[in-house]
Structure 1
Amino acid sequence: MDTQASPIRKLAIMGGTFDPIHIGHLVTAEEVRHEFGIDEVLFIPTGHPPHKSNINMTTSEHRYLMTVLATAENPNFKVSRLEMDREGVTYTVDTVKELKRIYAETVKLYFITGADAVQKILTWKSPEELLKLCDFVAVTRPGYHKAELIQKVEELKKQYEANIHFLEVPALAISSSNIRERINAMKPIKYLVPEEVENYIKKYDLYEYKICLTEEERTEMYDYVASKLSPKRYAHTRGVVEIALEYAKYHHLDYDEIFIAALFHDIAKELGKEEQKRLCDLYKIELDEFEQKHIDLAHGKIGAVLLEKNWGISKPSILNSIRYHTVGRHNMTDLDKIIYLADMTEEGRGTYKGKDQIKELAHYDLDRAMYKALISSYNYVTNILKQEVHPITQELIEYYKQFN
């Protein structure tokens, strides 16, 4: 029987928001892997980092999937949901301790971080404990002024017996914030991110340019919508705009996007069934089997087309929130959720069981609010209207049940 212990593997932790992941991250990880003989680099997208708690980050699921796409071709790269699936604020020390628990004594951990972060490490949670749990690799770009950094590192080594290494990486000149700015300015990001990530960003309309409306444009839009709806429906629409903007404030979403989506969400609501069918045929709007039987549910998809055709607004995030506000969809964005919830909770809807709770939840937890809203909608349609519901309703109830 071979009693020889298994050799200790080297595992490097590459943490970050990855919003989005870019070539700089990948080059850094590969350089560290080569320089320190790392067996595996574990990319860990952050869940709720304390230092970015007030920033409107892209959803963790989008950031995770982009990271998976970016690292898929490298057999030495893996992606972990460890921080994403952890409830509450994410702290590095908790992540490292969890990895130590998972791998026990079979791995030696290296934590990859920027040089600036190393200098601020004493402001992190439990820094003394963290410095003893793993080695740190402080990566810098060529030309980085290291005198202050070296002094700080020497102090940490002496005071905490920390193991901190240096590594220069040319690609660190690239940053996620710069990529977001380039997208916002409609500049190319090709070769700054993997092709798969670039395509993913385009598909889901991440980091797109912001629409900036003037007061005159807002007034013009209000007048247009008022001319297309009955006074009662228009009053409902104004109510949806009001509550949607309130929700947007709490979730740091773009006001103009919310305004447009809320204002136009029911623009096709009062069209007759024959007109709705005609427009679906004219614009080749795809309807599922349930929508074909219940053509009134198509008004969201028709409204999205009319907004694009008549107002030239083609931003997918806005159009999708209008398109799917009737029954929802899988992988709903925060904008989708807010339009769905605002449509159900505006004051003109009157009082119904659970409405106040849905409104309260919508201010701080959109997923829990969605679960309550979907249950309420299901009960209303089946018990009060005595009608069948779209199959996706039950699917969404099952999905959002995990957040309740």
Structure 2
Amino acid sequence: MKTVEKLGIYGGTFSPIHNGHIRAAEKFLSDIELDRLLIMPAAIPPHKAADGVSGEDRLEMARIAFEGADPRLEVCDFEVRREGRSYTINTLEHFTSPDRRIYMLVGTDMFLTLPEWRRAEDIFRLADIVLMRRERLDETGRLIAEKKLGYERDFGARVHIIDEEPLEMSSTELREKLRRGEPVDKLIPDGVARYIREKKLYTEG
């Protein structure tokens, strides 16, 4: 019997990649028991404004962050190398294969707006959706439960939920600390911090 590869895709701006991203990737890999996990920095994310840091720099920071990590973790340059905007459906179609099952990791904001994404029906058809959930008992937690049921009913979606501890800091707050020259110890890997300093990324002007 032919084996089916369980392929995870974890996309995002990763600007900069930080310890929260690394923990999320490791938990995604272990909880879903993936054969392979692609860490995929986006070129020009449709949902986020550019912050002046190139795709090449974000790609290199991701490579540094996962250096020496589990060999099933790969930093993938597919979206950075593509021309034009990064749309999830294009990436899923590229990696779809009869002998592969794709799992796509999303955060809460992305999960709640999935039906608004380009060709949402095809996204649900081509990939299992894995939500990295931080909210459990509050209003957002109840909304997540409602959306999950709706996606399964309306789209035949396959939704998995992984619980995660809240991050100490968002990427936006981290960029602000870097711009102000404040220490970011314990928030990003040492190698990434060194790369940011050497390349003078996230500085004023």
TM-score normalised by structure 2 residue count: 0.93
Q: Deviations over 1:98-128 (max 9, x none)?
A: 011xxx2222110001012111011111001
What does residue range 193-204 of structure 1 map to in structure 2 within 5 Å?
Answer: 193-204=188-199
Tell me the secondary structure at the aligned position of residue 38 of structure 1: coil
Tell me the secondary structure at the aligned position of residue 8 of structure 2: strand
Match of 1:125 among 118, 127, 135: 118
The alpha-carbon distance between structure 1 residues 191 and 144, as it changes in their structure 2 partners (threshold 3 A), is farther
Aligned partner of 2:89 in structure 1 is 93
Aligned partner of 1:112 in structure 2 is 105
Shift of 1:70: 0.6
Query: For residue 85 of structure 1, what is the amino acid of its counterpart?
Result: R
Match of 2:43 among 40, 44, 47: 47
Matches of 1:98 and 1:51, distance apart in 2? 21
Match of 1:189 among 184, 189, 192: 184
Match of 1:138 among 115, 128, 131: 131
Match of 1:164 among 153, 159, 162: 159
Shift of 1:168: 1.3
Match of 2:51 among 51, 56, 81: 56
Structure 1 contact 28–171 (Cα < 8 Å) conserved: no
Shift of 1:171: 5.0
Shift of 1:173: 4.0
Structure 2 contact 36–73 (Cα < 8 Å) conserved: yes
Structure 2 contact 7–34 (Cα < 8 Å) conserved: yes
Matches of 1:168 and 1:174, distance apart in 2? 17
Aligned partner of 1:66 in structure 2 is 61
Structure 2 contact 44–50 (Cα < 8 Å) conserved: no
Structure 1 contact 142–170 (Cα < 8 Å) conserved: no
What does residue range 7-26 of structure 1 map to in structure 2 within 5 Å?
Answer: 7-26=3-22
Structure 1 contact 93–125 (Cα < 8 Å) conserved: yes
Aligned partner of 1:239 in structure 2 is none
Q: Which protein shows a greater Rg?
A: 1
The alpha-carbon distance between structure 1 residues 127 and 142, as it changes in their structure 2 partners (threshold 3 A), is closer
Query: For residue 148 of structure 1, what is the amino acid of its counterpart?
Result: L
Matches of 1:18 and 1:9, distance apart in 2? 26
How high is the sequence identity, in percent, across the aligned residues? 29
Structure 1 contact 48–89 (Cα < 8 Å) conserved: yes
Shift of 1:143: 5.0
The higher-RCO structure (CA 8 Å, 6+ apart) is: 2
What does residue range 4-403 of structure 1 map to in structure 2 within 5 Å?
Answer: 4-5=1-2, 7-52=3-48, 54-74=49-69, 75-100=71-96, 104-141=97-134, 143=136, 145=138, 146-208=141-203, 210=204, 254=205
| Structure 1 or 2: more strand by fraction | 2
Matches of 2:173 and 2:134, distance apart in 1? 16
Alignment length (residue pairs): 202
Query: For residue 125 of structure 2, what is the amino acid of its counterpart?
Result: K
Provide structure 2 residue ranges, at least 5 long, that are not aligned to the other structure: none
Matches of 1:143 and 1:129, distance apart in 2? 28
Shift of 1:174: 3.2
Matches of 1:88 and 1:97, distance apart in 2? 16
Matches of 2:110 and 2:78, distance apart in 1? 21
Q: Deviations over 1:56-113 (max 9, x none)?
A: 341000000000111121112101111111111110010011011xxx2222110001
- Aligned Cα RMSD in Å? 1.5
The alpha-carbon distance between structure 1 residues 135 and 173, as it changes in their structure 2 partners (threshold 3 A), is farther
Shift of 1:142: 5.2
Q: Deviations over 1:245-276 (max 9, x none)?
A: xxxxxxxxx4xxxxxxxxxxxxxxxxxxxxxx
Aligned partner of 1:390 in structure 2 is none
TM-score normalised by structure 1 residue count: 0.48
Matches of 2:167 and 2:192, distance apart in 1? 18
Matches of 2:22 and 2:137, distance apart in 1? 20
| Structure 1 or 2: more helix by fraction | 1
The alpha-carbon distance between structure 1 residues 93 and 196, as it changes in their structure 2 partners (threshold 3 A), is same
Structure 1 contact 19–57 (Cα < 8 Å) conserved: no
Structure 1 contact 28–172 (Cα < 8 Å) conserved: no
